[in-house]
Amino acid sequence: MRQAGVLDVGCHSALLTVVRRRPGTVLEPVFSRKVRLSLHETLDGKGRLGKAGMESVERAVAEAVAAGPRLRGPEVFAFATSVIRDAPNRDEIVARVARTTGTRLRLLTGEEEARLAYVAARQWAGPTAGPLLVLDIGGGTVEIASGTGDQPRAVYSLPLGARRITRDWLPGGTVPSQRRLAEIRQHLRRSLEAVPGLPQAEPGGRVLACSKTFEQLARLAAARAKSPRSKWQLALPQLRRSVSLLADAGPSRRAKLPGISRHRAEQSLAGALIAQTLMEACGAKEVEICPWSTREGLLLERLGVSHATGGRARRAG
């Protein structure tokens, strides 16, 4: 029975996910191990990862791999997201991790991450889904993909991630003034308006949001509406109200709000501002929360899964 593993090293965790493919399923979870990280706390003003950050990555990778089942090297795909990919000392980080753990982290481009998120969202949505617009807000970048087939016809990666906007515009996650909020919105709008052919939500199509940022914002909106079932959708009016709520609260208070995790509280306001502006720019009045993204796209492709295989999709990890 074929199985595959992906080690996803991001700002907040190193996550090893192992799945297998068997009749009747697409991704059947076999093993999952998450090791928490706080790499954002070790970055300098230029996004360079400090010594403590590099050592924490080494420990996390070694711990995750040691805890997992024995797999042949080619069956495990280890990659790092934008926090390492965009670091000026990324080559040093990759070399150190490879030397101390035996695992070499690969660096995917933002466009490749967008493509894989689309592949995962298309499989999750099912073979009868029509046009898809896929939105993914990461720490360093925003990924956008759209299409009607198994592969997207357009992919974009923009330097508008929640961690980046927090660092550049909201140091410490606090709001100095309403003027600053207006400046951030203007910066985001202008950045998106400058994208040629920015994908738009299509009539009869679906808009899927594939990121922890959207997922936590949807949970916050559902809790405020006292509607647990609505945590898998997020509408623009709800999002606008959440922006106001998060702007009025500091990071410590945000961490106590339903749906907002402590380690993402500082960047949650930036994430909400990005989500709102992105939906407005793409003409999306509402998004569906999709639990699959780049990691699942990698697993699907490594297992050779396509719509033609049929089967039932299950969440991995």
Element at 209 (helix H, strand E): strand 206-209
Asked if residues 133 and 95 have their Cβ atoms less than 8 Å apart, the reply is: no
* pLDDT, position 18: 93
Tell me the pLDDT of the chain (317 aa) as tens digits.
Answer: 578 899 999 999 999 999 988 777 778 999 999 999 999 889 988 889 999 999 999 999 999 988 877 765 556 899 999 999 999 999 999 999 999 999 999 999 999 999 999 999 999 998 788 999 999 999 999 999 999 999 999 999 999 999 999 999 999 999 999 999 999 999 999 999 999 999 999 999 999 999 999 999 999 999 998 876 678 999 999 999 999 999 999 999 999 999 999 999 999 999 999 999 999 999 999 999 999 999 999 999 998 886 443 333 333 33
CA-to-CA dists, residue 282 to 78, 178, 188, angstroms: 32, 25, 13
184 HSE (CA, 13 A, CB side): 32
* pLDDT, position 68: 75
* pLDDT, position 74: 54
Domains along the sequence of the chain with CATH: 3-107 (3.30.420.40), 111-289 (3.30.420.150)
DSSP three-state, residue 257: coil
Of residues 93, 97, 95, 26, the one with CA closest to residue 65: 97
Of residues 150, 152, 153, 121, the one with CA closest to residue 308: 150
Report the alpha-carbon distance of residue 92 to residue 260 in Å, rounded.
33
